[in-house]
Structures are given as structure tokens and as C-alpha cells.
Chains A and B, each alone.
Chain A
Amino acid sequence: MAEAGHSPAEYVTHHLRHWSSGHDSAFISLTDWHLDTLLISTLLGLVFLTLFRIAAVRATAGVPGKLQNFVEVLIEFVDNSVRDSFHGSRAFVAPLALTIFVWVFLWNAMDLLPVDLVPKLWAAGHAAAGEDPAHAYIRVVPSADMSATFALSLSVFFLIFFYSFKSKGFGGYAKEFLTHPFGPWLMPFNLILNIVETLARPLSLALRLFGNLYAGELIFILIALLPWWAQVVPGLGWAIFHILVITLQAFIFMTLTIVYLSMANEHH
């Protein structure tokens, strides 16, 4: 809820500002680190790895425990998804897909925390440290930060090149880039089309996830601006809907990664 003395616009912009290492206001910053995104996403990743590592250490071929069951379900689900479309060694692609799915899911799940919870604690922490709580900024949903989603999608982008070169060789990839899909006589069009297609993949991958979660977060912030008695119904509805969205977006990101890599890995 908007605090006294804050206009709704101020409240929203305060919530949408990163805990940053500098004060660069450019749309694409070359110098500032988004410390909140880095910190929270790394912490979530460590939670994921710790949990799964415990399950891996305790894994037995006998009767599995509850944690092992849970982890096995996820791993079989991811492994089946990869097996369905990726024809090649899954030793790297399947763990990659698992990491993406669980990590992105955890990022997205941060959206279900009350929007004011962490910022309030953060401000209180700043006040306790003798700093100005009004300038304590933090954003807890890493996937609502383009930096995080682009980091993933650019990694996938480079992996697409890696698998393309590995399966077709540099010459083969260049030939395909120039002659598909219209044949060698329409080389310029092929080139334009392929450049657009290649660039569209990481862009759409990153922006789809970012857009969904940014919008979700924004709506939660707007709901938080309502008077308290009017928040319950929209807040509950949006949160329930978001349970679907956060899972779906993680799944889409993983599936598209697998599809792109399997396309890169296949000969035409």
C-alpha cells in the first residue's frame, strides 16, 4: 500500500528501481551492476543446487525417499522432454534444460512473495544501518529484470552456434545460412531472413519471460495500491493465475531451448 507522503507514481517507480552499483539511468547500462538480481538469482540457484545435490548424494536404486522422489520426477520429466526432440548426447543438454527449468521457476516464484515484504525489510535494514530508507531499492524477481533473462537467452544463443558448428562445421553452417530456405539464387533474401531468425530467437526468449514477469509484478504493485479491503480478491486471483504463469514460462523457456539446440544439432 502506498505510504503516506508518497504518490502512487512514486510508489511504483520506487518498486521498479534496482539496487544498483551506480546511478546510470541509461536504458542499457554499461557500468551498473544490478546487485539485487545477481544476489537473489545466485541465492536461488544455490538453493536449487543444494537441494538437488543432497538428493543426488542420497540417491539409491532402492526405495526412494520423498526428496529423491521429487527430484526424480523433475529429472525424468526434463529427460523425457529432451529425448523427445534432441537426438544426440544428452549429457550436457539435459542438465542444461534442468538448470534452466528449475532456476527460472524459482526466479518466477519470487513473484508470489508479497510485493512489499522484501522492500520493507530492506528499508528497515537500511534505517537500522543509519542510511536513508527512502533510497533503499530492491527488486526480488530476477526474471522481471532483462539482465537476467538476456543472460540466459544469450547463453542459449551461443550454444546454438556451438551446436551448429559442431554438427555442420563452419562451412556447412555458412552454406545453410546463405542458401536456405529459398535456394542459392535468392541469397540476399536468405541472408536477411536467417539473420532475423537467428537474432529473433534470443530476443524473443528473453523478452517473453521478462515481459510476462514484469507485467505480473507490475500488476501486483498496482493491486497493492488499492485500499486494503479491495486487495484480497484481485490479489488472490492474480496470484493463483500466476502459479500457472510462473510454471508455464519456465517450461516454455526450457522447451524452446531444447528445440533450438536440437534444430542446431540436426543436419538439413
Chain B
Amino acid sequence: MQASIPSIVGQMIVFGLFVWFTMKFVWPPITKALEERRSRIADGLAAAEKGSRALQDASLKSEEALKAARVQAQEILANANKQASQIVEQAKGTAQVEAERIVAKAHEDVQREVAHARDELRKQVGELAVAGAAKILKREIDAKAHADVLNELAAKI
């Protein structure tokens, strides 16, 4: 067991050099990398926080938009309903008028037909009456000569 003064001094010099080297070339790069990583992680966390907040905002906004759209749809539906019933009312009115018109025209036609038929009938009855009279009289009657009389008769029926 011995302590050697030259060894102590030499060892101190070596120690000093080692500390100097560590201080200059080992410590700063590694602590710098550590610091950088720390700030990078902090940035990442902040970004994530911001992202989640933005997501929350967006979902809130979308919910609002959905609600507004629903209200609008309701409104549009109501409007459409109103319009449809209006159209139906209008159509009903038009149909009524048309129907009345058709009915009126039919009436007119029927009247006309009736009048026509009556004329026809009168003519035939006149002819029949003439024929009957001819048979009864057993004599020929000049249809031409008595047309005026027959027509007068037909008009009376």
C-alpha cells in the first residue's frame, strides 16, 4: 500500500482532460438532443390538444347545421303541403266548372236530340196519317198537292 505523489498529479491531469472533454464534446450534444425531443413532444401534445378542440368545434357546428337543415326541411315540407292542397283545391274548382259545362252541354244535346226526334216523329206521324187517310179514303191523294195541308197538320202535332 503506497500513495504516489507523481501518480496523483498525473492522474489529476488526466482527470482534468477527461472532464474537459466531457464538458465540451459529450454533454452539450446529448442534452441538446434531449431538450429538442422534449420540446418536440410538447409541440406534438399541444397540436393534439388543438386538433381535439377543433374536432369538438366541428362536431358542434355540424350538429347545429343539422338542426338548421331539419328546421328548413320541416318548413319546405309544410310549404309543399300547403301548395299541394292549394293545387288540389284549384283543380277541384276547375273540375267543378268543367263538369257543369259538360253537364250543360249534355243537357243542350239532349234537348236538341229530343227536338230533332220530335220533328222526325211528327213527320212520320204526318206520313202515317196521310197513309192512313189515303187508305181510309181509298183514293189517291196527290202528295204534292196536299203537302201544304200535311205540313200544317204535322206542325200541329
With A31-B6, A33-B10 known as contacts, the answer to whether A146 contacts B1 (CB < 8 A) is yes
CA distance A155 to B16 in the complex (A): 8
Whether B23 and A103, one on each chain, are in contact in the complex, defined by CB atoms closer than 8 angstroms, is: no
Hey, which chain A residues are within 8 Å of B11, CB to CB? 37-38, 41, 147-148, 151-152
Hey, which chain B residues are within 8 Å of A91, CB to CB? 23, 27
B9 to chain A, nearest CB (A): 8
**Cβ < 8 Å to B, chain A residues 3-47:** 16, 18, 20-21, 24-34, 37-38, 41-42, 45
Question: Does A176 count as interface, using CB distance less than 8 angstroms?
Answer: no
Tell which of B9, B32, B34 has the most Cβ of chain A within 10 Å.
B34
Q: How many residues of B contact A (CB 8 A)?
A: 33
Whether A59 and B33, one on each chain, are in contact in the complex, defined by CB atoms closer than 8 angstroms, is: yes
Question: Does A95 count as interface, using CB distance less than 8 angstroms?
Answer: yes
Question: Does A49 count as interface, using CB distance less than 8 angstroms?
Answer: yes
Residue among B3, B7, B10, B18 making CB contact with A49, cutoff 8 Å: B18
Question: Does B14 count as interface, using CB distance less than 8 angstroms?
Answer: yes
Closest to B10 in A: A38
Residues 8-24 of chain B, each 1 if its beta carbon lies under 8 Å from chain A, else 0: 11111011101101110
Whether B31 and A79, one on each chain, are in contact in the complex, defined by CB atoms closer than 8 angstroms, is: yes
With A61-B40, A98-B22, A147-B11 known as contacts, the answer to whether A75 contacts B3 (CB < 8 A) is no
Whether A60 and B33, one on each chain, are in contact in the complex, defined by CB atoms closer than 8 angstroms, is: yes
Whether A56 and B16, one on each chain, are in contact in the complex, defined by CB atoms closer than 8 angstroms, is: no
Closest to A25 in B: B2
With A49-B18, A96-B23, A99-B18 known as contacts, the answer to whether A56 contacts B30 (CB < 8 A) is yes
Tell which of A48, A61, A91, A103 has the most Cβ of chain B within 10 Å.
A61
CA distance A241 to B13 in the complex (A): 33
Question: Does A154 count as interface, using CB distance less than 8 angstroms?
Answer: yes
Question: Does A87 count as interface, using CB distance less than 8 angstroms?
Answer: no
B88 to chain A, nearest CB (A): 73
With A37-B7, A61-B37, A94-B27 known as contacts, the answer to whether A151 contacts B1 (CB < 8 A) is no
Chain B, interface SS category: helix
Question: Does B75 count as interface, using CB distance less than 8 angstroms?
Answer: no
CA distance A24 to B4 in the complex (A): 10
B20 to chain A, nearest CB (A): 9
With A27-B1, A49-B22, A94-B27 known as contacts, the answer to whether A154 contacts B6 (CB < 8 A) is no
With A52-B26, A76-B34, A92-B23 known as contacts, the answer to whether A103 contacts B3 (CB < 8 A) is no
Hey, which chain A residues are within 8 Å of B9, CB to CB? 151
Whether B23 and A150, one on each chain, are in contact in the complex, defined by CB atoms closer than 8 angstroms, is: no
CA distance A150 to B11 in the complex (A): 9
Hey, which chain B residues are within 8 Å of A150, CB to CB? 3, 8
Whether B15 and A155, one on each chain, are in contact in the complex, defined by CB atoms closer than 8 angstroms, is: yes
A254 to chain B, nearest CB (A): 12
B1 to chain A, nearest CB (A): 7
Whether B6 and A32, one on each chain, are in contact in the complex, defined by CB atoms closer than 8 angstroms, is: yes
Whether B2 and A38, one on each chain, are in contact in the complex, defined by CB atoms closer than 8 angstroms, is: no
Residue among B3, B6, B37 making CB contact with A62, cutoff 8 Å: B37
Hey, which chain A residues are within 8 Å of B32, CB to CB? 59
Whether A151 and B8, one on each chain, are in contact in the complex, defined by CB atoms closer than 8 angstroms, is: yes
Would you list 5 pairs from A and B whose C-beta atoms are within 8 A, ordered by A residue? A56-B28, A57-B29, A94-B27, A145-B7, A151-B15
- Shortest beta-carbon contacts, A-B, top 8: A151-B11, A61-B36, A147-B7, A59-B33, A95-B23, A146-B3, A56-B29, A95-B22
Given contacts A45-B14, A61-B36, A151-B10, 12 further A-B contacts (CB under 8 A): A21-B6, A27-B1, A29-B4, A31-B6, A32-B6, A37-B7, A49-B18, A59-B32, A61-B37, A75-B27, A95-B26, A103-B15
**What is B's interface to A at a CB cutoff of 8 Å?**
1-12, 14-16, 18-19, 21-23, 25-34, 36-37, 40
